Amino acid sequence: MPDPAPPHMPAGDFRNLAAQTAAWLTGYWERVEHLPVRSLVQPGDILRALPEHAPETGQPLPATLFDDLDRIILPGLTHWQHPSFFAYFPSNISAPAIIGDLLSAGLGVQGMSWITSPACTELEMRVLDWLGEAIGLPNAFLFRGQGGAVIDGTASEAALGMLLAAKRRALRVFPRDGQRAAAQRLTIYTSTQSHSSIIKAAMIAGLALDAEDRKQLRLIETDSNYAMRPDALADAIRADLADGLIPTFISTTLGTTSSTANDPLDAIASAVRSTGATPWLHVDAAHSGAAFICPEHRAPLRGLEHFDSFAFNPHKWLLTNFDCNCLWTRSPRDLIDAMSITPEYLRNQATDSGAVVDYRDWHIPLGRRFRSLKLWLVMRHYGLEGLRAHIREDIALTQLFESLVRADSRFEVVTPRTVNLICFRLAPRPGENPAATDARNKALLDQVNATGMLYFTHTVLPGIGGAPPRYVLRMAIGGVRTEERHVREAWTAIASAAS
């Protein structure tokens, strides 16, 4: 007997199910506020609720889909879209971005080369020029200024791509048979406060054996605001040059993960110049980059004109669903040199003409989704004014939270606020040892989070001037549904749990 025909969903059923799904989602957004922010399930609970084997015979959807979502999936979610989610960094979504993702899925385009869908490539180029201009990047980073840009999945991928481009650029000057040996002499620099993805990139690029290996990787000390110290960077570069090493890549951060500190780009560029070295200079602005849509928050960009690349994640704080990292570089040629390989089966006239962008040469994967659709719809729907209003609203709420913390003498704000994150803690009591202060703060965090009313997280920041590291509470305010009442309620919960 021949196999039965595959039971594809009839078009009318899809139309109905899409509408039902949209209704279920909008219902979820309305009720999410009343759910515990953090999932309360135990390890294995969700696994146990799911059948051990795939169904042999399909059942046309929705069947029990919406019941299963309510019964099995929702209890296992930490609700990142809850208005009282203040943990990590936000992971914004918006209706226009969701429609963009739906369109991307429905069009089913795989945009690896220009020829496989010119619109997928050229919309991305145009939207990235729009966004680059909108956040105040130098013209040389835009396609229209002979630079270029690409949408990656994450900031981690962007940093790895830039490290590989830097490595390629540094090795290219050696004769081919000397490049392997020279690769052992390449060095990279980032601050002690930069994101772990930079060390991971070094591991993947063959410049660190593991996360602890410092033979070719330098972690540069930070100042009392947790920003990279340009003098310490210059010292490290000079020492490496004296040892015959090749300073190749520097990853700076605007908006460090722990405390949103900004490395001083201008001073870093001059410090590097003073050494005579010419490494690739990258900016990882994964979270804080969104704030540059507002001209009044662009001061940290001073000096960017001396840098080679800049990346940030609209999927954190700019209303664009995960995943969407935007990476701009003034030297796309180096990136393409590092990534390009054209097997016969991908050859085509457009590629051979050299007149088109083939994004498969701009990152690690070959295949790619039509991610620019969601960014396009976000920018069309909100306009730059609307995006600025979103950032300004969150910063105003963060200022409110900061004023509440400062007004309570039991607490202290630990680092200067740069955007929408407050690092604070219960202040040490007279004579209290640092471990006891840390323990009180940890207990406070656990107690408040256990209520399920809100969710915030912690970090540990190095002590200043020889002091021990400090356990610090982090409150990141950037949720799409977060209103003043949620911020005030969060503070009331924290202040009343404080001893």
Ligand X SMILES: Cc1ncc(COP(=O)(O)O)c(C=O)c1O
| Site for ligand X contains 265 (CB under 6 A) | no
Question: In the complex with ligand X, which residue's Cβ is closer, 204 or 241?
Answer: 204
Q: How many residues bind ligand X (CB under 6 A)?
A: 15
Question: In the complex with ligand X, which residue's Cβ is closer, 287 or 360?
Answer: 287
HSE value, Cβ hemisphere, 13 Å, CA-based, for 118: 4
Question: In the complex with ligand X, which residue's Cβ is closer, 94 or 116?
Answer: 94
Question: In the complex with ligand X, which residue's Cβ is closer, 207 or 245?
Answer: 207
Q: Show Cβ contacts of residue 340 under 8 Å, excluding neighbours closer than 6 positions.
A: 361
Question: In the complex with ligand X, which residue's Cβ is closer, 158 or 426?
Answer: 158
Q: Which stretch binds ligand X (CB under 6 A): 34-42, 48-56, 282-290, 390-398?
A: 282-290
Among 82, 167, 229, 287, binds ligand X (CB under 6 A): 287
| Site for ligand X contains 89 (CB under 6 A) | yes
Q: Which stretch binds ligand X (CB under 6 A): 126-134, 281-289, 350-358, 451-459?
A: 281-289
By CB under 6 A, what part of segment 322-361 binds ligand X?
A: 325
Q: How far is the CB of 489 from ligand X (least distance, A)?
A: 25
Q: How far is the CB of 195 from ligand X (least distance, A)?
A: 3
| Site for ligand X contains 307 (CB under 6 A) | no
Question: In the complex with ligand X, which residue's Cβ is closer, 202 or 493?
Answer: 202
Question: In the complex with ligand X, which residue's Cβ is closer, 195 or 330?
Answer: 195
Question: In the complex with ligand X, which residue's Cβ is closer, 113 or 325?
Answer: 325
Burial class (CB within 10 angstroms; exposed 0-12, middle 13-18, buried 19+) of 325: buried
Among 87, 93, 155, 454, binds ligand X (CB under 6 A): 155
Q: How far is the CB of 53 from ligand X (least distance, A)?
A: 33
- What contacts 24+ positions apart, CB below 8 Å, involve 75-81? 75/39, 75/40, 75/41, 75/45, 76/39, 76/41, 76/45, 76/46, 77/39, 78/37, 78/38, 78/39, 78/455, 79/32, 79/35, 79/36, 79/37, 79/38, 81/29, 81/32, 81/479, 81/480, 81/481
Q: How far is the CB of 365 from ligand X (least distance, A)?
A: 15
| Site for ligand X contains 414 (CB under 6 A) | no
Q: How far is the CB of 322 from ligand X (least distance, A)?
A: 8
Question: In the complex with ligand X, which residue's Cβ is closer, 287 or 297?
Answer: 287
Q: How far is the CB of 152 from ligand X (least distance, A)?
A: 8
Q: Which stretch binds ligand X (CB under 6 A): 70-78, 149-157, 299-307, 463-471?
A: 149-157
Q: How far is the CB of 197 from ligand X (least distance, A)?
A: 5
Q: How far is the CB of 89 from ligand X (least distance, A)?
A: 5
Among 84, 156, 320, 449, binds ligand X (CB under 6 A): 156
| Site for ligand X contains 262 (CB under 6 A) | no
Task: Give the per-residue contact string, 230-259, with ligand X (x = CB under 6 A; - = no).
Answer: -----------------------x-xxx--
* Residues in touch with ligand X (CB under 6 A): 89, 154-156, 195, 197, 253, 255-257, 284, 286-287, 313, 325
